[in-house]
Structure 1
Amino acid sequence: MNTNTENKEEKSRAGAVAATIILAAVCAAGGWIAGDIYERVAEKPHGAAVQPEAIETVATMVVTNLPYNLPEEFVAHAEALQEVDLLPQVDGYIKEILFKEGDLVKEGQLLYRLDDERYQAVVNQRKADLEAAEAEARRAERYWERMRKADARGITQLERDNAEAGADTAKAAVLQAKANLVVAEYDCKKAQVYAPISGQIGKTAAHVGDYVAPSKGALARIVQVDPIRVSFPLTDRAYVNWREDASKGLSGANHRMRLILPNGSIYDKEGAFDFDDNEMSLTTATITMRLRFANPDRLLVPNSYVTLIADKKTPPVYPTVQQTAIVDLPQGGVGVYVVQAEGTVQLRAVKTLPVHEGLIPVTSGLKAGETVVTSGTRKLRDGAKVRLEKATSNEENDPNYKPTEI
């Protein structure tokens, strides 16, 4: 028990000594720091001048008016204006094929010829039936004419009625024979298959000697390729804006519609508005817009995907600054530091459009010819003095500068 008590007393004395040493070190350090501060204060003479405000060196540019033509891009889909499946309207054996697969065919061009001997025989039969009906009609008409002029005392009324009915029946038989002949000639004509539209014909599904019928499917497919239609989806909000512009006469005339082909090249033909769909999609809240493009070289293929670029033929012009000149304002919005004549800067709120090619058009708050700070804005405040590097414009930064076009 005495041993434990002695150990505790020795630990307590050691802790007290350590605390005394630490306190002495802190006091010594505090005295040294205080002495150093006192010496520095004592070295300064009373009434010394306050250091002048620092003048920041900044890069600037002269605001210039430039056209703003920010393109909108859409995923678009090429589609044929017309497409048709060639179905035979009568049955028979193919006697001749008069086109090459993949050819461009013209409307009215003969494509298939079926064996029409059977149909020609029916035509001849119907012609004979018509001649017989016409002969019977002439005989019945003459008989009715004699009965009509005969003395009423020599014939009965029943004989007169029968003669009149016979003449009418013969006339009806002639009409029926003519109708039968028309049907027979139609069937014979349909043994030849013509192109109903102009376009590119695809692979034939039947060959010479094959038996074909309307129930056996299409012989081939023709797709119109020039001109061609390109469709793309437009959001409900953008569609309403477009409709409002159209009602004011602002839509269409100044719009330029171009295409980027699947290989990345620019299609050299511009599109024209064709029509817009008549309902909005419930699932995507978009409506399909359709344009029409000339396609003489068949670079646009139906059912292929392309990129549509929509911009302005004559773009508007705005005062334009480099993107680095725009700063965020504490109260919200954006602004620029405008260099004043006395060598200070003014923080001015501006309204802008989206950036395009590193440049931002300013719609209000700035005009061409003014100088704005483009570098060093983080250290500035409204009214700060600045030292200017040589002011530049977009043209001076690059002698060959020209807003690029897609």
Structure 2
Amino acid sequence: MARHHAVRTLLIATLAAAWLPGWAQSAPPKVPTVRVQSQNQAGAMEWDGVIQAIRQSTVSAQVPGNITALLVKAGDTVKAGQALAQVDDRDVQAALTRTQADVAQAEAQLTNARLQWERSQALKAQGFISAAAFDGAQAQWRSAQAAFNAARAGQSQAALARGFATLSAPFDGRILATYADVGDLAAPGRPVLSLYAPQAMRAVVQVPASLANRIKTARTAEVNLPAGTDLAPAHWVRATRIVSLPGADPVSQTVEWRLDLPSTTALPGQTARVRFSDMAPAAADGPAETGLSIPAQAVVRRGELTAVYVVREGQFMLQAVRTAPASAQASTVTVLSGLRAGDTIAADALKAGLANASPMKP
């Protein structure tokens, strides 16, 4: 038994001796690095933008009630005035019937008051009634006339409310999305569906506020449209009109630029690359480091912390940065602060965060 135990111990020791040296000699992970470049040093500046419809509308009901019919679905093409959905109109129909009865009653009272007023005029001419009785008949006729006008106004309002029970397309377009189904309760302000006009599209991009004045000097603004539904490949097109919003976002410190596009098959929500070129040279006394572009994989986000791994003395150090807003599909990110042009960072933040990771020598 003791001999058996000794053999087993010797076997375990032999296997450990054969495995441990290889494990101890395994090299730590090597992570490729990239050098941060300033977009100010280039002849053009690029950011990721989003395609939007210039004309887009959200349709909601103006009268409460259950949706009895949804006549379209996402992707359908509709014409202006076409019925899109129907809301239960029994309540508004009852209100319309009630106002119609009010109009009939007011009309009968007006006819009676008018006849009474005409008889009073004849009797007054013959001196058979007093001035007070004559004035009373005249006032009653005017009151009946006002009541009739009010009843007709109520009828018009009820008829208008009945028309609101049918949701119609405000313009020619395509259904973007539906937010309710048959049986759901429609209420004023609650969206039922949205549509857009596919003929007019634009690209929206967030530009760092520190570069706003320089971007205004750009002579050319282009958008790299994604591959379209007609199998057309991605291509650059020149914007037909450029507008920048007058204010900056207080959190991201970016300015929204809107670039109208020529006819395109791009869809709202798609990501597009936006490029400004032929700009005036940067001022010699201006900020040297703005608009730094780095790969999206180089950025790590932990809660509210946004950071990159910077190479310092041959090791990775976590450095907090502030970035401009970008879509989830963006391949690059614009750094607004925290880095300088010429800094070397890890190309893959996840690998750089591993234990014993070190920069790969160029």
Q: Give the equivalent residue in structure 2 for 1:142.
A: 115
Cα distance in 2 for partners of 1:240, 1:295 equals 29
TM-score by length of 2: 0.55
The secondary structure found in structure 2 opposite 1:289 is strand
1:214 aligns with 2:187: yes
Q: What are the residue-to-residue correspondences of 1:118-129 with 2, within 5 Å?
A: 118-129=91-102
How far residue 74 of structure 1 moved from its aligned partner, in angstroms, is 2.1
1:168 aligns with 2:133: no
Cα distance in 2 for partners of 1:300, 1:205 equals 19
The secondary structure found in structure 2 opposite 1:219 is strand
1:200 to 174, 197, 203: 174
Cα distance in 1 for partners of 2:87, 2:252 equals 49
1:276 aligns with 2:244: yes
Given that 1:76 and 1:306 are in contact with CA atoms closer than 8 Å, whether structure 2 keeps it comes out as yes
Give the counterpart letter for 1:190 in structure 2: F
1:261 aligns with 2:226: yes
How far residue 238 of structure 1 moved from its aligned partner, in angstroms, is 4.1
Given that 1:260 and 1:266 are in contact with CA atoms closer than 8 Å, whether structure 2 keeps it comes out as yes
Q: Give the equivalent residue in structure 2 for 1:310.
A: 276
Q: Give the equivalent residue in structure 1 for 2:70.
A: 97
1:294 aligns with 2:267: no
Cα distance in 2 for partners of 1:292, 1:177 equals 50
How far residue 152 of structure 1 moved from its aligned partner, in angstroms, is 6.9
Give the counterpart letter for 1:301 in structure 2: P
The secondary structure found in structure 1 opposite 2:137 is helix
Q: Give the equivalent residue in structure 1 for 2:164.
A: 190
Given that 2:186 and 2:192 are in contact with CA atoms closer than 8 Å, whether structure 1 keeps it comes out as no
CA RMSD of aligned residues (A): 3.3
Cα distance in 1 for partners of 2:212, 2:179 equals 43
| Cα shift readout 1:316-365 (whole Å, capped 9, x = no counterpart) | xxxxxxxxxxxxxxxxxxxxxxxxxxxxxxxxxxxxxxxxxxxxxxxxxx
How far residue 88 of structure 1 moved from its aligned partner, in angstroms, is 1.7
Give the counterpart letter for 2:206 in structure 1: P
Q: Give the equivalent residue in structure 2 for 1:349.
A: none
TM-score by length of 1: 0.50
Give the counterpart letter for 1:164 in structure 2: Q
Cα distance in 2 for partners of 1:132, 1:220 equals 41
Given that 2:240 and 2:262 are in contact with CA atoms closer than 8 Å, whether structure 1 keeps it comes out as no
Greater strand share, structure number: 2
Identical residues among aligned pairs (%): 22
Larger radius of gyration: 1
Given that 1:260 and 1:309 are in contact with CA atoms closer than 8 Å, whether structure 2 keeps it comes out as no
Q: 1:91 to 1:234 in 2, by over 3 A?
A: closer
Cα distance in 1 for partners of 2:257, 2:133 equals 74
Cα distance in 2 for partners of 1:287, 1:241 equals 12
Given that 1:111 and 1:194 are in contact with CA atoms closer than 8 Å, whether structure 2 keeps it comes out as yes
The secondary structure found in structure 2 opposite 1:76 is strand
How far residue 94 of structure 1 moved from its aligned partner, in angstroms, is 3.2
The number of equivalent residue pairs is: 235
Cα distance in 1 for partners of 2:193, 2:155 equals 30
Cα distance in 2 for partners of 1:200, 1:268 equals 25
Cα distance in 1 for partners of 2:152, 2:167 equals 24
Q: 1:237 to 1:202 in 2, by over 3 A?
A: closer
Q: 1:159 to 1:274 in 2, by over 3 A?
A: farther
Given that 1:91 and 1:211 are in contact with CA atoms closer than 8 Å, whether structure 2 keeps it comes out as no
Q: Give the equivalent residue in structure 2 for 1:88.
A: 61
Give the counterpart letter for 1:201 in structure 2: I
Give the counterpart letter for 1:267 in structure 2: H
Cα distance in 1 for partners of 2:61, 2:121 equals 52
Q: Give the equivalent residue in structure 2 for 1:368.
A: none
Unaligned runs of 5+ in 2: 1-41, 280-362
Q: 1:240 to 1:202 in 2, by over 3 A?
A: closer
